Structures are given as C-alpha cells and as structure tokens.
Amino acid sequence: MIKIQGNYQGNLRCELTHPSTVIIQTDAPKDNQGEGKFFSPTDLVASALGSCMLTIIAIRARTKGIEIGHPQLFIEKEMQAAPRKINRVKIEIAFQEHISIEQRKYLENEAKNCPVALSLSASLEQEIIFRYA
C-alpha cells in the first residue's frame, strides 16, 4: 500500500506528495477553467498508462535478457464533453533497437496487460502503437 498526501492550493490547482517526498502539481486544463500550467488529473491518467506499459516492457525485457535500449513514448489524450471524461488515449512506443518478431509479440502482449491498462474502464478507447527500427 502507498499513501500519497494531497492539498488543494487554490485556483484549481492541487499539490501531491509521494512518500519519497517528490511533489507534483496538477492544474485544471485551459478548456475547463484552469491555467493548464501543469499536468491535469486526466493527463496523469494517460501518462500513467503509457509509463506503465513502458515500465512493464522494461521489466519483462530485463527478465528475458532482451535489449530494448531507450524507447521513446508518445501519448495523446482526447476528452469527451458530456459526461466529461477521457474518451481515447493513443500510446506510441518507438524502439531504436532491433527486436525479433517473437520478442515483439511477447513485449507487446505484456504491455497491453499492464496494471494501469487492466484498471481502466473498458469504455476507454486505447490505441496502442509499437514502432521498431
């Protein structure tokens, strides 16, 4: 279990403190009365999905001895107006290292079944793209 402390800072901004003492701030987006100076809570959800997938890939690659180098991660998030929620997340993971077809299939399957992906609503469209050198 992890406990994260949060405080409302005013002006539609929150501050969250991780037990390691790392602090992040969230801000309401410009299209929802905020200043958009920091990640919005829904930005964090989309980012959590992408970073979870990439982390699982790295864990599984390490376990299987697969060299993945330093893949890049690109995330797009689309909102739905009513009810206001995340409608679609597009995750693109780009590898510069040569990875065999068999290894690709394994890593892609593991990524798509990361804890965040499995925790999100089935109504959230997840477009996942893997690009290879």
CA distances from 69 to 9, 14, 55, 87, 109 (A): 39, 35, 13, 32, 19
Distance from C-alpha of 49 to C-alpha of 52, rounded to nearest angstrom: 5
pTM over 0.85? The answer is yes
Q: Are residues 103 and 90 in the same domain?
A: yes
**pLDDT tier at 80 (50, 70, 90 boundaries)?**
very high
Range list of β-strands (E), the chain: 5-10, 13-17, 23-27, 72-80, 85-94, 125-131
Q: Are residues 64 and 118 in the same domain?
A: yes
Q: What number of other Cβ atoms are within 10 A of residue 130's Cβ?
A: 19
Stated length of the chain: 133
What average pLDDT is seen over the chain? 97
Structure tokens at 86: 């995340």
* Whole-number pLDDT of residue 132: 97
CATH of the domain at 62: 3.30.300.20
Q: Are residues 60 and 72 in the same domain?
A: yes
- Give the tens place of pLDDT for each residue, 6-64: 999 999 999 999 999 999 999 999 999 999 999 999 999 999 999 999 999 999 999 99
Residue 117 sits in which domain range?
Answer: 41-131
Q: Are residues 71 and 100 in the same domain?
A: yes
